[in-house]
Chain A
Amino acid sequence: MFRLSATIGLAAALALPPLALAQQAPPAPPAWQQGRPDSMAASPLAPHAPKMTMTPADRLPVDALKVPEGFKVELWAHGAPGIRTLAEGPNGTIFGGSRTIGRVYAITEEGGQRKVRTLAQQLNQPNGLAVRDGNLYVVAINRVLRYDGIEGKLDNPGQPADLTAAFNLPTEEHHGWKHIGFSPDGRLTMNIGVPCNVCEFDRDRFAMIVSFRPDGSDRRVEARGVRNSVGFDWHPTTRELWATNHGRDWAGNETPPDTLLRIRRSGEDYGFPFCVGTWNDPAVPQRQCSEFAQPAAALGGHIAPIGTRFYTGTMFPEQYRNQLFIARRGSWNRETLSGYDVVVARIGADGNVTGIEPFLTGFRDDANNGFRGRPVDVFQRRDGSLLVSDEQNGAIYRISRQ
Chain B
Amino acid sequence: MLRGAVLAAALAAAVAFPSAAQDAAKGAALAEERGCGSCHGARGIAEQPPMPSLAGQPAEFIALQMILFRERLRDAPPMPDMAQGLDDAQVEDLAAHFAALPPGPPPDRGEADAAKAREGEALAARMNCGVCHLPTFAGRAQIPRVAGQREDYLAHALAQYRDGTRRGSDTNMNAVMYGVTDAQITALAHYLAQR
Within B1-35, the residues touching A (CB, 8 Å) are 7, 10-11, 13-20
* Cβ contact of A26, chosen from B17, B89, B126, cutoff 8 A: B126
What CA separation (Å) do A12 and B165 show in the bound complex?
Answer: 21
The reply to whether B172 and A24 form a contact with Cβ atoms under 8 Å apart is: no
The reply to whether A173 and B171 form a contact with Cβ atoms under 8 Å apart is: yes
Count residues of A near B (Cβ-Cβ below 8 Å). Answer: 57
Residues of A within 8 A of B7 (CB): 44
Residues of A within 8 A of B64 (CB): 49-50, 52, 100
Residues of B within 8 A of A54 (CB): 20, 88-89
Residues of A within 8 A of B132 (CB): 46
Given contacts A49-B169, A122-B71, contact A368 B14 (CB under 8 A): yes
Residues of A within 8 A of B181 (CB): 24
The reply to whether A31 and B171 form a contact with Cβ atoms under 8 Å apart is: yes
A55 within 8 A of B: yes
Distance (whole angstroms) from the CB of B146 to the closest CB of chain A? 15
The reply to whether A59 and B178 form a contact with Cβ atoms under 8 Å apart is: no
A81 within 8 A of B: yes
Residues of B within 8 A of A27 (CB): 126-127, 176-180
B54 within 8 A of A: no
B67 within 8 A of A: yes
Given contacts A52-B67, A122-B71, A173-B171, contact A6 B178 (CB under 8 A): yes
What CA separation (Å) do A26 and B169 show in the bound complex?
Answer: 24
Centre residue among A8, A53, A100 by max chain B CB count within 10 A: A53
Within A36-94, the residues touching B (CB, 8 Å) are 41-44, 46-56, 59-61, 81
The reply to whether B169 and A59 form a contact with Cβ atoms under 8 Å apart is: no
The residue of chain B having its C-beta at the shortest distance from the C-beta of A124 within the complex is B73
A19 within 8 A of B: yes
The reply to whether A32 and B172 form a contact with Cβ atoms under 8 Å apart is: yes
Within A324-373, the residues touching B (CB, 8 Å) are 337, 365, 368-373
Q: For chain B, which range describes its interface: under 10, 10 to 19, 20 to 34, or 35 or more residues?
A: 35 or more
What CA separation (Å) do A365 and B14 show in the bound complex?
Answer: 9
B173 within 8 A of A: yes
What CA separation (Å) do A24 and B73 show in the bound complex?
Answer: 32
* Cβ contact of B20, chosen from A31, A56, A102, A373, cutoff 8 A: A56
The reply to whether B88 and A2 form a contact with Cβ atoms under 8 Å apart is: no
Given contacts A5-B175, A9-B179, A173-B171, contact A49 B142 (CB under 8 A): yes
B109 within 8 A of A: no
Residues of B within 8 A of A26 (CB): 126, 179
The reply to whether A59 and B16 form a contact with Cβ atoms under 8 Å apart is: no
B47 within 8 A of A: no
What CA separation (Å) do A2 and B163 show in the bound complex?
Answer: 6
What CA separation (Å) do A59 and B18 show in the bound complex?
Answer: 6
Distance (whole angstroms) from the CB of A78 to the closest CB of chain B? 12
Residues of B within 8 A of A46 (CB): 131-132, 143
Residues of B within 8 A of A392 (CB): 17
The reply to whether B10 and A44 form a contact with Cβ atoms under 8 Å apart is: yes
Distance (whole angstroms) from the CB of A370 to the closest CB of chain B? 3
Centre residue among A56, A59, A100, A368 by max chain B CB count within 10 A: A100
The residue of chain B having its C-beta at the shortest distance from the C-beta of A368 within the complex is B16
Residues of B within 8 A of A298 (CB): none
Residues of A within 8 A of B17 (CB): 51, 61, 370-373, 392-393
B91 within 8 A of A: yes
* Cβ contact of A30, chosen from B19, B91, B164, B176, cutoff 8 A: B176
Q: Digitize A368-400: 1 where CB-to-B-CB distance is under 8 Å, 0 elsewhere.
A: 111111000000000000000000110000000
Residues of B within 8 A of A29 (CB): 127-128, 175-176
A164 within 8 A of B: no
Q: Digitize B156-195: 1 where CB-to-A-CB distance is under 8 Å, 0 elsewhere.
A: 0000001111010111111111111100100000000000
A117 within 8 A of B: no
The residue of chain A having its C-beta at the shortest distance from the C-beta of B58 within the complex is A49
B72 within 8 A of A: yes
The reply to whether A53 and B20 form a contact with Cβ atoms under 8 Å apart is: yes
The reply to whether A103 and B13 form a contact with Cβ atoms under 8 Å apart is: no
* Cβ contact of A9, chosen from B16, B72, B178, cutoff 8 A: B178
* Cβ contact of B73, chosen from A25, A33, A102, cutoff 8 A: A102
A residues at B contact (CB < 8 Å): 1-2, 4-6, 8-9, 12, 19-20, 24-33, 41-44, 46-56, 59-61, 81, 100-103, 121-122, 173-174, 337, 365, 368-373, 392-393
B residues at A contact (CB < 8 Å): 7, 10-11, 13-20, 60, 63-64, 67, 71-73, 88-89, 91-92, 126-128, 131-132, 141-143, 162-165, 167, 169-181, 184
> 26 A-B residue contacts at CB 8 Å?
A1-B165, A1-B167, A1-B174, A4-B174, A5-B178, A8-B175, A24-B179, A24-B184, A29-B175, A29-B176, A30-B173, A41-B128, A43-B131, A48-B14, A59-B18, A60-B18, A100-B64, A100-B169, A103-B71, A121-B72, A122-B72, A173-B171, A174-B171, A371-B15, A372-B16, A392-B17
